[in-house]
A and B are shown apart, each in its own frame.
Chain A
Amino acid sequence: MNAFVQPGFWIFVLLMAGIYCIFALGLQVQYGLGGILNFGHVAMMALSSYTMAILVITYNWNLYLACFAGVVMAGLGGAFLGLTTLRLRGDYFSIVSIAFSEIVRYIIHNSDHLTGGAQGSLNIPSTRGFASYTDQFNKVLINIQGKIKPIFGSFASRDMALLLIVWLSAIILLICMSFIQRTSWARVLRATREDDDVPASLGKNVFLFRLSAVILGSVVGGIAGIYWALEFSILDPADFQTIVTFFAWMVIILGGATRVKGVPLGALFFGFLYAGTRFFQFPPFTWFDSVQRAYLRIMIIGFVLIFLMLKRPQGIFGKRAEMVLE
């Protein structure tokens, strides 16, 4: 049967959209409020997932404690990035943030004895002789699978159980973020988007506000990394390339750059665009073989990105006036 019509495939697409939604929410906090152009966001996902995997596999930590430590590590990564580079001008910061994420990836790729190196998390040194970090979580998922069986019937797969957890977290985070948008902290941050001098003249430490936005965003990005790790059960340094950060930017732009509520819509749209194009069985896609089609999918992402920025910089669901005003 064609995978295009298999429910399992669409559950996977929705699940990935949920993870991208959380990941992009972290970026949205930084850009939507502080106007910070962070292009190294994927590093937070790499830091949290690898920290979690190493603590569980090598040090036999409890999974939940390790997840928490992973998210803390992502926050620390954000703090390090912010402390060292946030004082730089906007375009410098963006370039250095890419460099940060690539350095994290290089180090993970080359530290065989800690992270498993190029072979990924399967190669993380383990005392039990078996490098898996999902055992404890799989039991939970099986438990949930049993509970949702009456509702979803044969669709109650591992992915379905995780899908529910991911989207529940996404919604909770979304509510938190909408709430944060109304705080005075967010108002000061919005003011720093326009100009450093006005908030500074009111006695606000602009740097600290920006730093806290980067840390908060990094923590949220770290949560996405944990779910990423739990979904795939294996980590590979190649999963955390810079392109993933651009996927998150695309989610934000699709959803309407300044709108928190647009992020899930953007994530769903992106999920279907990215995964769905794999199964387009009509010309011009049938002119290419499967390898070429993989190239074509990335090209489509590129074209959509360019088209959006030229024609609708406010995104599909955004309002142009908001971008100009804010």
Chain B
Amino acid sequence: MAEFVQLLFNGLVTGSILAMAAVGVSLVYGVLRLVNFAAGDFMTLGAFIAVFLSISKGLPLIFSVIVAILGICLLGLALDWLLWKRLRDNKAGTLALFLVATGVALILRQSILMIFSSGSRKFAINETATFGFLGAQIATSQLIVLLLATSAIITLGLFMAKSTIGKDMRAFSDNASLAAVSGINVNKVVRYVWIINGILSALAGIFQGMVQGRFDSTMGWTLLLPIFAAVVLGTIGDAYGALLGGMTLGLVMEMSTWHIFFGGIPSSYKPVVAFATLGIVLLVKPEGLLGVKARSI
């Protein structure tokens, strides 16, 4: 029982972080048709900026987090202006978008190494502080991360459902040309997508850094594949699906280490478990968990 509660809790923490990042990736794909390979490195950069300001410069943590979020939002907007807008105007194909996104990911990761130098980082939080709950040891920092991530996701959900720009975004993901014809400001939607993505990626990166304890420049890339798995699992381009996919994968990844499953799958195989789950779901339901089968004409 204690082990179950522990793994359930770990799964919820992992799942909420995955879900945040996956919603960002899914939103970017839904509106821009761009598979953002740099998403993981956006997260890493956010965590590095926050840790740099709060630890090396001694600034308050909350201030550092806000600067990190602003930084990632600006990065997204700048990249859109520099690259993605041009590629959209050129009507670039999938391959071009994939390769440019990979190029961005490589440059970002190497820049992080160059600016902040290699080696691992750590936030000034006490991750060993725990309390007992139903026999499980719950880390206070993880609980705070879980609460913050959940409230961020709920806020985003409300924003997407209630605000005009949220409705515009959903309209755009459903049918871009129809949305544009009906007078939705394309540039405004694109700007908001990058801002929301910036907030989500930076927070997800910082939260992951806090939960992990120590992290280095490969943190985001390691997480990118489970994030993609979550996005595809929940039907690519569907923000609510990404949320569901992220939570599902987080739970599956953590639960797989439970000893009742073949004595527990070694934790180093967690990414493999994430993809095996994705593979099984895609075989049974190729359109994703929430997806609808495309109607053929």
Q: Is the CB of A249 within 8 A of B99?
A: yes
- Kindly identify, within residues 89 to 117 of chain B, every residue whose CB is under 8 Å from any CB belonging to chain A: 90, 92-96, 98-100, 102-107, 109-111, 113-114
Task: Count how many chain A residues have C-beta atoms less than 8 Å from C-beta atoms of the other chain.
Answer: 43
Q: Is the CB of B107 within 8 A of A299?
A: yes
Choose from B99, B232, B272, B283 the contact partner of A309 (Cβ within 8 Å).
B99
Cβ–Cβ < 8 Å partners of B278 in chain A: 96, 99
Can you list 22 A-B pairs with a CB-CB distance of less than 8 A? A39-B98, A91-B94, A91-B236, A96-B282, A99-B278, A102-B271, A103-B271, A106-B271, A106-B272, A246-B106, A250-B99, A291-B118, A292-B114, A295-B113, A301-B103, A301-B106, A305-B102, A306-B103, A309-B96, A310-B86, A310-B100, A313-B93
Annotate A282-322 by CB proximity to B: 1 below 8 A, 0 otherwise. 00000000011001101101111110011001000000000
Known: A246-B102, A295-B113, A306-B104. A106 touches B229 (CB 8 A): no
Task: Count how many chain B residues have C-beta atoms less than 8 Å from C-beta atoms of the other chain.
Answer: 41
Q: Is the CB of A98 within 8 A of B225?
A: yes
Cβ–Cβ < 8 Å partners of B93 in chain A: 313
How close is B147's CB to chain A, nearest CB, in angstroms? 31
Does B83 belong to the interface (CB within 8 Å)?
yes
Choose from A31, A84, A87, A99 the contact partner of B95 (Cβ within 8 Å).
A31
- Kindly identify, within residues 265 to 284 of chain B, every residue whose CB is under 8 Å from any CB belonging to chain A: 266, 268-269, 271-272, 275, 278-279, 282-283
Cβ–Cβ < 8 Å partners of B103 in chain A: 301-306, 309
Cβ–Cβ < 8 Å partners of B283 in chain A: 84
Does B213 belong to the interface (CB within 8 Å)?
no
Cβ–Cβ < 8 Å partners of B111 in chain A: 295, 299
Choose from B99, B118, B275 the contact partner of A305 (Cβ within 8 Å).
B99
- Kindly identify, within residues 235 to 275 of chain A, every residue whose CB is under 8 Å from any CB belonging to chain B: 243, 246, 249-250, 253, 257
Name which residue of chain A comes closest to B102, CB basis: A246
Cβ–Cβ < 8 Å partners of A250 in chain B: 99
CB within 8 Å of A: which residues of B?
A: 35, 83, 86-87, 90, 92-96, 98-100, 102-107, 109-111, 113-114, 118, 225, 228-229, 232, 236, 266, 268-269, 271-272, 275, 278-279, 282-283, 286
Q: Is the CB of A309 within 8 A of B100?
A: yes
Does A123 belong to the interface (CB within 8 Å)?
no
Q: Is the CB of B99 within 8 A of A106?
A: no
Does A7 belong to the interface (CB within 8 Å)?
no
Cβ–Cβ < 8 Å partners of A295 in chain B: 110-111, 113-114
Report Cα–Cα, A39/B105, bound state, in Å: 15
Cβ–Cβ < 8 Å partners of A9 in chain B: none
Annotate A53-87 by CB proximity to B: 1 below 8 A, 0 otherwise. 00000000000000000000000000000001101
Q: Is the CB of A107 within 8 A of B100?
A: no
Name which residue of chain B comes closest to A35, CB basis: B95
5 extra A-B contacts, CB within 8 A, seeds A257-B95, A299-B106, A306-B107: A84-B279, A94-B35, A246-B99, A296-B114, A301-B103
Cβ–Cβ < 8 Å partners of B282 in chain A: 85, 88, 92, 96
Cβ–Cβ < 8 Å partners of A91 in chain B: 35, 94, 236
- Most chain B Cβ neighbours within 10 Å, of A90, A296, A305, A306: A306
Name which residue of chain A comes closest to B296, CB basis: A197
Cβ–Cβ < 8 Å partners of B96 in chain A: 309, 313
Cβ–Cβ < 8 Å partners of B268 in chain A: 106, 109-110
Q: Is the CB of B272 within 8 A of A310?
A: no
Does A229 belong to the interface (CB within 8 Å)?
no
Q: Is the CB of B99 within 8 A of A253?
A: yes
How close is B227's CB to chain A, nearest CB, in angstroms? 10
Choose from B104, B118, B266 the contact partner of A110 (Cβ within 8 Å).
B266
Report Cα–Cα, A191/B90, bound state, in Å: 24
Report Cα–Cα, A298/B87, bound state, in Å: 22
How close is A170's CB to chain B, nearest CB, in angstroms? 23
Q: Is the CB of B94 within 8 A of A94?
A: yes
How close is A224's CB to chain B, nearest CB, in angstroms? 20
Does A175 belong to the interface (CB within 8 Å)?
no
Cβ–Cβ < 8 Å partners of B99 in chain A: 246, 249-250, 253, 305-306, 309
Name which residue of chain A comes closest to B231, CB basis: A95
Cβ–Cβ < 8 Å partners of B35 in chain A: 91, 94-95
Report Cα–Cα, A87/B144, bound state, in Å: 42
How close is A114's CB to chain B, nearest CB, in angstroms? 14
Cβ–Cβ < 8 Å partners of A313 in chain B: 90, 92-93, 96
Report Cα–Cα, A109/B270, bound state, in Å: 13
Cβ–Cβ < 8 Å partners of A109 in chain B: 268
Cβ–Cβ < 8 Å partners of A306 in chain B: 83, 99-100, 103-104, 107
Report Cα–Cα, A31/B228, bound state, in Å: 22
Known: A92-B232, A92-B236. A298 touches B83 (CB 8 A): no
Q: Is the CB of A99 within 8 A of B114?
A: no
Q: Is the CB of B86 within 8 A of A298?
A: no
Does A15 belong to the interface (CB within 8 Å)?
no
Choose from A100, A107, A302, A310 the contact partner of B107 (Cβ within 8 Å).
A302
Report Cα–Cα, A305/B107, bound state, in Å: 11
Does A37 belong to the interface (CB within 8 Å)?
yes
Report Cα–Cα, A8/B27, bound state, in Å: 50
Q: Is the CB of A107 within 8 A of B272?
A: yes
Q: Is the CB of A310 within 8 A of B225?
A: no
Name which residue of chain A comes closest to B268, CB basis: A110
Q: Is the CB of B286 within 8 A of A298?
A: no
How close is A311's CB to chain B, nearest CB, in angstroms? 10
Q: Is the CB of A37 within 8 A of B98?
A: yes
Name which residue of chain A comes closest to B270, CB basis: A106
